[in-house]
Structure 1
């Protein structure tokens, strides 16, 4: 009986090394790994390395310590100080192997060391360990590195239990499936990582310390912030997304203003406009929320409203008079003639 081969280990790895020969060797050793399919990018110095991380965050960084200009220690310090990149494992590549050198790296929260010269088997062992450890510890979405459903639920439940006032933003992309079908999974994944980075950017700019960003899965994200920051954050995300999403389309499609996709949902060939973003805001101000499921129920009500609108929208859970919109299950009973208005 034929046994299926094990699923290969995957991971997006960035090598930051100023020596072109060592860059080539590292890239080849990682690319030639058995039972693994690593996506490897390289950068020739610290400045370029930081640019590559900001452009498309990797899952693991191999970082040379001794580089001209911005050395590995400073690159590590900057990455670990940024909430968006702080959880990316960093393996230092160094000719230095003294106790003091290792302590200095650990003080900067480096995750591991490889001393030059190294054996390919050691390199791959340490790479696999860091990738597996990172995914297991974070319980995160493998694509974006953001906290996934378990941690989202934990964070929301904690705030509810402690009686904190909060605003829960549910972020959803419109026409993402069509984009993914048209351009392929690789470019679809790049869009998802772009949104993750965008959310962090706007939270850093308009949020406060302690704000939370999570990835439910697919094209659905979560931000938890303070009620008085919610609209500001949502508007900033809305504006930034609309201004930058065009970068992910080919020029010809931008000129046409649409892409054409065979739609299994709607049958036949269908034109889809540029992706837009729907942001739902649910707050426990003015209402008693005792369970995370209540937040989901309210968000579902708001989503019906948001999806009926054209283009990117922010849908708060407030009526014009400031009173909260309630989920159908919590609305007061009507006389049976018509459903209560929202």
Structure 2
């Protein structure tokens, strides 16, 4: 059963407050009303899920209250919808920067108000369960989608991707470079699923170096193989040239022994409900855990699809398809990324490239467009580098 959301209405206009209160209660919300200059402590005590503020912006108290709400540790994530007079809108439009999430002209249309509230609550719920680094949905949302797939008996494939040897990379190169590996992995997965998957396919980030995607069984292999290819093509560039040539890094293990650790690879475990019925998420997790344990014994990037078949009364693992590609094979196929080409030709510094790549990964904007917008390279010269990139492919 869904928990009833609580809305806090802060209003000076008694008549308007009564109308909004009547609407909110009718829509199934729990409603509290505060009047006359409430302070942050009073707002905290109400523990609302959303705040509607009807406060004249001609008074500094209104702006101050907005700022306090958005700067408060407990209240900063609460969606804040402001009701404003049309006459005040143009004059105080710039004041919306004080942390307001949305606004409506007074008196608000009930349908508009209801839609804005629902959208704000959904955004908040989504952001609460998303990874702060990649902005991908996390465990709670992943679980809900899987439950829905199981309930509706829809055919689905659930894949878990794990970056091998990421911890050792993070230990040697530091957390900032480690974060770039995570954001680029998220971007690669997003682009791969978008290109080769279905329109409604799902991508999630459990945390750390663990990612998931949900697709249809007919798309699982192409997504996994193309994801591996792009990962293997790009991830070595996060290492120093010396480590790339060696193909490993030297690090101390938990026993303080120096060991050679291979460059990062990706392992993808996939289960689907084509030949095996899953009754709950726990069964899916158990199947993935067993498969991941098996994959850890195999070096390099690979994926495997789990299918269960009865053989003389016993269940045996029979991978329908597995992929293991070593770096030598991939090296023959890969072409240099645009950023690496510009770096090699001295057109861009490593520091600027890292800054632009952060924007590229997080906002999904093509690197070429970012380079042009920043004035780093003209369009004509960019086209020459793109042509050179295609020749090397």
TM-score (norm 1): 0.56
Runs of 4 or more consecutive aligned structure 1 residues displaced over 2 Å after TM superposition: 122-127, 132-138, 331-334, 339-342
Larger relative contact order, structure 1 or 2 (CA cutoff 8 Å, min sep 6): 1
Please say if 1:285 is aligned against 2:274.
yes
Aligned-partner SS, 2:269:
strand
- Identify which of 294, 298, 315 aligns with 1:305: 294
| CA RMSD in angstroms, aligned pairs only | 3.2
| Structure 1 residues 198-277: aligned runs within 5 Å | 198-264=188-254, 267-277=256-266
Distance 1:98 1:231 in 2: 57
| Structure 1 residues 18-29: aligned runs within 5 Å | none
The gaps in structure 2 that reach 5 residues or longer are 1-70, 74-86, 102-120, 319-393
Please say if 1:190 is aligned against 2:180.
yes
Alpha-carbon spacing, 1:186–1:35, altered in 2? closer, same or farther (3 Å): farther
Alpha-carbon spacing, 1:222–1:98, altered in 2? closer, same or farther (3 Å): farther
Distance 1:316 1:341 in 2: 10
Distance 2:271 2:125 in 1: 30
- 1:125 CA drift (Å): 4.0
Check conservation: 1:298, 1:325, Cα contact below 8 A: no
The gaps in structure 1 that reach 5 residues or longer are 1-33, 37-96, 102-112, 319-323
In structure 2, the partner of 1:56 is none
Aligned-partner SS, 2:179:
helix
Distance 2:309 2:290 in 1: 8
- 1:233 CA drift (Å): 0.6
Check conservation: 2:197, 2:219, Cα contact below 8 A: yes
Alpha-carbon spacing, 1:187–1:135, altered in 2? closer, same or farther (3 Å): farther
Check conservation: 2:126, 2:137, Cα contact below 8 A: no
Alpha-carbon spacing, 1:209–1:279, altered in 2? closer, same or farther (3 Å): same
In structure 2, the partner of 1:178 is 168
Point out the structure with max Rg over C-alpha.
2
Distance 2:173 2:72 in 1: 28
Aligned-partner SS, 2:148:
helix
Alpha-carbon spacing, 1:123–1:341, altered in 2? closer, same or farther (3 Å): closer
Q: CA offsets, 1:321-340, max 9 Å, x none?
A: xxx269xxxx9877xxxx96
